[in-house]
Chain A
């Protein structure tokens, strides 16, 4: 930084801050939250909590830097773990040589996939290895874990590991991965989960339409980038119970997956979710926990692993990129008569939360519009890329980008105002969703009108 602070300026600023009165804590944190009348559930009534200003109960420790995140925890004798990740997007593991790494300074223990009691986990399908044992399917696959006295020693020991690979053809494009010629990543078919929603008769709907609009929309892979990287600590309590601290946001599912991979009863595992430095869906399944548990068992010492920022990008989960083909039939007055949607989700190397994502994307793909004839087909496909999983909205933002883009294109082509075409077709109170659910408290048009009014849409919108 080249900015120069003059002594005069500095003194002035310090005087300003020193002269400011020392603030004593209002007698409210955390037991001084505003008193709110008891909530009695009432249908269609506004809750009194809305509009109230409420102090966050954890804000004081945040602003004083005293909130205890996982990396702020350490235990006597704690070791540090680093994981060697695959050198290839797709390869067979021929051999792993740990003779050099195991003898490097500070190294206490090593772990490979063969040593994991049940070497598979996953939020839906159990298709992801804790550590890849015979085959790597993306660059983020862990192959060897090393526990050392310091983080630096663990990192340096990774360079001493020798892994021999036989590279296999890889596929990175989800459409290509669906084809018969594509390399197969898990089974004979790379399509691993699908969802179809059908209502009315889209073919007839298109025949009755005055205009047909067709377009492909695509979205990219997105990493959550929580400021706090994924981390976990494993230790054994004196009574033999395994205690894991983790940034994992779904501890019940995590505990079940841990019990399964370690092949121990769930009641022998305690999983403590630490205060989290950002999640957004990227910390919703186990990652290093079984590895740390096994290293803790081997060494009899607590073991910690904190993802590097690079690992956060290549070895966590990301948002699904989607290829979305939309075809919409419209009457000349702008009414939507039929919509056919074909979604392909790039699922990455393992399933993670793809089943949830393909479901939600398909359910919402036609948009909040009254369309008598709808057909949506969604498929999640394996590729040799970073795993895609949960991220805020589970597929909803991707399809919203597509259907709203198409609404604008239809409006533009018919010479209609984008607001007008949405007011004409939008859901009303009591409309049925595309999966047949009767909707209540629908404020779509009210919201659109208010947004138009406040943004000055009528004056500048067109």
Chain B
């Protein structure tokens, strides 16, 4: 910490080392959006209810509006920008696109990150496990059916790739 209360942080975001000087109250979400221009993660409620700010920190899905930037110092962060871009979609993004799982899209980045966290941990989740993994992500337009369908499709279509048996 510097004398004026500003902290210097350094962390890995989507494989790139990022540095910033932040005031103590700066959240990881604010650092991502304001310091590094990674605006894919959204501010919906600022109190950890809606999940629009969900990112991976050391592989776990967390609400980046509740984690201070200084707490993320030295950690490995993955945001929606780390999955795929307009030209090359991550399989989860492709499935969500195919099923048009979103209307306004504000919840999409957080929800896709939660889905990735789930599949990283459990490549063949049951529907109940998918619902549980998404329980921290709210959608107000579309509902969750197509989101669950999209994740189920990814598991089914890519299960053969690693020889995972499809759960019922």
Contact = CB atoms under 8 A, between A and B. Distances in A.
Contact of A9 (B105, B109, B122, B158): B122
Given A17-B116, A58-B105, A309-B47, A227 B40 contact: no
Contacts of A29: 97
A437 interface: no
A20 B158 contact: yes
Interface in B83-98: 83-94, 96-97
6 A-B pairs with the lowest CB-CB distances in the bound complex, closest first: A65-B40, A62-B105, A277-B106, A65-B80, A19-B161, A13-B120
A225 B47 CA distance: 14
Contact of B85 (A16, A64, A280): A64
A152 B162 CA distance: 48
Given A227-B139, A278-B104, A23 B60 contact: no
A60 B86 CA distance: 7
Given A16-B162, A64-B40, 4 more contacts: A29-B97, A65-B108, A226-B140, A227-B104
A278 B141 contact: yes
Contacts of B119: 13, 16-17
Nearest to B106: A277
A9 B121 contact: yes
Contacts of B45: 309
Interface string A38-68: 0000000000000000011011111111111
B106 A69 contact: yes
B88 to A, nearest CB: 5
Q: Please tell me the size bucket of the interface on B.
A: 35 or more
9 contacts: A16-B162, A17-B92, A17-B119, A17-B120, A56-B100, A63-B108, A65-B109, A72-B39, A227-B107
Q: Please tell me the size bucket of the interface on A.
A: 35 or more
A63 B106 CA distance: 10
Given A16-B162, A71-B43, A280 B140 contact: yes
A14 B107 contact: no
B134 to A, nearest CB: 14
Interface of B: 23, 25, 33, 39-47, 49-50, 52, 59-62, 79-81, 83-94, 96-97, 100-109, 112, 116, 119-123, 138-141, 154, 157-159, 161-162, 164
Contacts of A66: 40, 85-86
A76 B157 CA distance: 46
Contacts of A277: 42, 104-106
B104 A276 contact: yes
Contacts of B85: 64, 66
A5 interface: yes
A179 B156 CA distance: 64
A17 B96 CA distance: 15
Contacts of B159: 16
A441 interface: no
A13 B89 contact: no
B75 to A, nearest CB: 14
A225 B138 CA distance: 10
Contacts of B43: 71, 229, 306
A405 interface: no
A462 interface: no
Contacts of A62: 96, 102, 104-105, 108
A227 B140 contact: yes
A455 B142 CA distance: 23
B162 A5 contact: no
B123 A20 contact: no
A156 to B, nearest CB: 10
Given A19-B162, A276-B104, A278-B141, A65 B79 contact: yes
A3 interface: yes
Interface of A: 1, 3, 5, 9-10, 12-17, 19-25, 29, 55-56, 58-69, 71-72, 152, 224-229, 276-278, 280, 306, 308-309
Contact of A13 (B80, B109, B123): B123
A29 B86 CA distance: 10
A3 B135 CA distance: 14
Contacts of A59: 96-97, 100, 102, 105
A5 B121 contact: yes
Contacts of B52: 227
A63 B44 contact: no
B46 A23 contact: no
A3 B102 contact: no
Contacts of B105: 58-59, 61-63, 67, 277
Contacts of B97: 29, 55, 59-60, 63
Contact of B123 (A12, A24, A68, A152): A12
Contact of B140 (A58, A72, A225): A225
A364 B43 CA distance: 38
A132 B85 CA distance: 46
Contacts of A224: 140
A16 B161 contact: yes
Contacts of B91: 17, 20-21, 23
B89 A25 contact: yes
Residue among A19, A59, A63, A277 with the highest chain B CB neighbour number at 10 A: A63
Nearest to B91: A20
